[in-house]
Chain A
Amino acid sequence: KNEVEQSPQNLTAQEGEFITINCSYSVGISALHWLQQHPGGGIVSLFMLSSGKKKHGRLIATINIQEKHSSLHITASHPRDSAVYICAVPGSARQLTFGSGTQLTVLP
């Protein structure tokens, strides 16, 4: 079973700061997902990546398959980025196994 660890659990930043959230997993995978859970509870898929880097607006996700590690970066953070960010990996039957999430709060 894949163990997924995220850090930090909680992160408070000032508006404009560069944010990094880390995710590591124990068993090799072919793709990793980054999800965002809004304060209202809805979950949105941000990225699915299997190698290298992906960018969407101010969000950048990177993955190193050999080191079993992924990072999510937010440039020029804004209060509306405040949410829980969750990484997830597919299991043996490809169901998602989730990290515990990182609660991000961006202060104005």
Chain B
Amino acid sequence: DTAVSQTPKYLVTQMGNDKSIKCEQNLGHDTMYWYKQDSKKFLKIMFSYNNKELIINETVPNRFSPKSPDKAHLNLHINSLELGDSAVYFCASSQDLGGYTNYGYTFGSGTRLTVV
């Protein structure tokens, strides 16, 4: 069973389009995150949600809108895609806000977004 699943794995789209990436975790974790990995492989937090409540919005353009219908899902919707949005997006989850109390973080397999 996949613990944190993201779809799609690859996404190629044209500039200006709107797209969504879905994330689901079956671990019963309270907190979910979106991270962006740029072309230099550097990972950076975008959003975190704890029990469906937005905790962190880390200077992300408002074209990016996370949506958490329940604590097992955190989807990422991107409007008006730009070339600079091309990156790998990782969903992750942890139990407790900091991932201290259990085994740390569990990451999805990533979504490679290419904007052309």
CB distance from B93 to the nearest CB of A (A): 11
Does A96 touch B at the CB level, under 8 Å? yes
Q: In the complex, are the beta carbons of A98 and B43 less than 8 A apart?
A: yes
Q: In the complex, are the beta carbons of B45 and A31 less than 8 A apart?
A: no
Interface hits, A1-41 → B, CB 8 Å: 30-31, 33, 35, 37, 41
* Given A41-B110, A86-B43, CB of A96 within 8 Å of CB of B100: no
CB distance from A44 to the nearest CB of B (A): 7
Does A95 touch B at the CB level, under 8 Å? yes
Q: In the complex, are the beta carbons of A41 and B48 less than 8 A apart?
A: no
Q: Which residue of B lies closest to A95 (CB)?
A: B45
The one of A30, A41, A90, A97 that contacts B109, using a Cβ cutoff of 8 Å? A41
* Given A41-B88, A86-B43, A101-B41, CB of A94 within 8 Å of CB of B107: no
Q: In the complex, are the beta carbons of B56 and A42 less than 8 A apart?
A: no
Q: Which residue of A lies closest to B102 (CB)?
A: A48
The interface size of chain A toward B, counting residues with CB under 8 Å, comes to 26
The interface size of chain B toward A, counting residues with CB under 8 Å, comes to 27
Does B114 touch A at the CB level, under 8 Å? no
Q: In the complex, are the beta carbons of A45 and B58 less than 8 A apart?
A: no
Q: In the complex, are the beta carbons of A95 and B42 less than 8 A apart?
A: no
The one of B58, B100, B107, B110 that contacts A95, using a Cβ cutoff of 8 Å? B58
Does A100 touch B at the CB level, under 8 Å? yes
14 contacts between A and B (CB under 8 A): A31-B99, A33-B105, A35-B107, A41-B88, A41-B110, A43-B90, A45-B103, A45-B105, A48-B103, A50-B100, A94-B98, A94-B99, A95-B45, A96-B43
- Measured CB to CB, the residues of A under 8 A from B are 30-31, 33, 35, 37, 41-45, 47-48, 50, 84, 86, 88, 90-91, 93-98, 100-101
